[in-house]
Amino acid sequence: VSFTILECKEFFMLRPKIITGNWKMYKTIEQTADFIKAIAPLVADNPFEIFLAVPFTAIQTAAQAAEGTKLVIGAQNMNDATEGAFTGEIAANMLKDAGAEFVLLGHSERRRYFHEDDALINLKIKRALSIDLRPVLCVGETLAEREDDKTQEAVKRQITQGLADLSARELKNLILAYEPVWAIGSGLYATPEEAEEMHQFCRQVLSELFDPDFASTIPIQYGGSVNALNAKVLMEQADVDGLLVGGASLSLESFSHIIHNSESTPDEGIL
């Protein structure tokens, strides 16, 4: 069997498709264990990678329950310092110690309610990378920015400043999540065309900051009111490489429906 250079290139550019549940501040340890036990067999044969970002207190239980399954457990935030007198904070190595393999950084709820700015998020990304904890950089415009025609400007700033002083090599495990703030928890979601346009824009920004080869390998997830009805059409967009699901990831029924409904997607992750 022989392959043309183009076919080889396409093969290596295949991006993984990842569906992530972000549980936010929901679920106890017991609820976490029960959920994972129940969902693991339902998604065992699924072609996607399935990630769950659980509360700090449930990471260890989740990681143990997920052992031997295809579920990957992560956290929703962390402090940028290695360690120190920072009452109430959690360090990156503590997340790894508990069994987290990835961490959401720069989620709009962190930016909005906890006043995280791009410079702080950049420090957190660097800290996560320094111990091989996979960062998921969340970006997205507010409603005011969209109405002011500043969508691209806002997202470009978040990507550029969030990834400042980092190289493509250091960022090889990065995941990007585009979550328009107006779509989060609102029941409003970007149309597939709007999502695809912004995902292409994010990839173009990555391409300008680093290089097109790097940009073509980074999975970009869509988040914001994803449900079992809109998941498939969003996933069918060429530059949508996965979903970041909030509310609908809390129930076993809706999360497994999202995963199964997305399944018959033709593989369009090839550029």
Query: CB-wise, 247 or 269, nearer to ligand 13P?
Result: 247
Query: CB-wise, 15 or 111, nearer to ligand 13P?
Result: 111
If binding is defined by CB under 6 A, does position 245 make contact with ligand 13P?
yes
Query: CB-wise, 53 or 71, nearer to ligand 13P?
Result: 53
If binding is defined by CB under 6 A, does position 55 make contact with ligand 13P?
no
C-alpha to C-alpha distances, 10 to 110, 113, 199, 222, nearest whole angstrom: 36, 41, 19, 23
- Give the whole-angstrom CA distance, residue 37 versus residue 64: 10
- Give the whole-angstrom CA distance, residue 154 versus residue 120: 16
- Give the whole-angstrom CA distance, residue 91 versus residue 77: 9
Query: CB-wise, 24 or 96, nearer to ligand 13P?
Result: 24
Catalytic residues, which ones? Answer: 107, 179
If binding is defined by CB under 6 A, does position 244 make contact with ligand 13P?
yes
Give the three-state DSSP class for 214: helix
DSSP H helices in the chain: 5-12, 29-42, 59-66, 92-98, 108-113, 118-130, 143-147, 151-162, 192-209, 212-217, 231-235, 252-261
If binding is defined by CB under 6 A, does position 223 make contact with ligand 13P?
yes
> Out of 99, 219, 247, 269, which residue is the one contacting ligand 13P (CB under 6 A)?
247
HSE, side-chain direction, 13 A CA sphere, residue 154: 22
> Out of 184, 190, 195, 202, which residue is the one contacting ligand 13P (CB under 6 A)?
184
> Out of 56, 166, 185, 260, which residue is the one contacting ligand 13P (CB under 6 A)?
185
> Out of 22, 122, 230, 262, which residue is the one contacting ligand 13P (CB under 6 A)?
22
If binding is defined by CB under 6 A, does position 179 make contact with ligand 13P?
yes
Structure token digits, residue 221: 């997830």
Binding site residues, ligand 13P, CB under 6 A: 22, 107, 179, 184-185, 223-226, 244-248
